[in-house]
Amino acid sequence: MEKTGKKARAAVRLLLVGAAVCLLAAGTARGEVRTVLTKAANICMECIGIG
């Protein structure tokens, strides 16, 4: 029983890591990286409480 649970968990983990890699690739391909970089490389007035 425990062995089956372990196998199922391992499969889910592998699936999630695969999905994460695909999502990262898809996000990069459609230009999200630039949006994140633009926001993160400039002082975010809202984040520091200036608005």
How far is residue 17 from each of residues 14, 21, 40, 48, measured CA to CA in Å?
A: 5, 6, 25, 33
**Least distance in angstroms from the C-beta of 10 to other proteins:** 9
| Cβ 25 to other proteins shortest distance, Å | 8
Distance of closest approach, residue 4 Cβ to other proteins, in angstroms: 14
Q: Is 4 one of the binding residues for other proteins (CB under 8 A)?
A: no
Token pair 């993160």: residue: 40
Residue 41 lies near other proteins (rule: CB under 8 A): yes
Any contact of residue 46 with other proteins (CB under 8 A)? yes
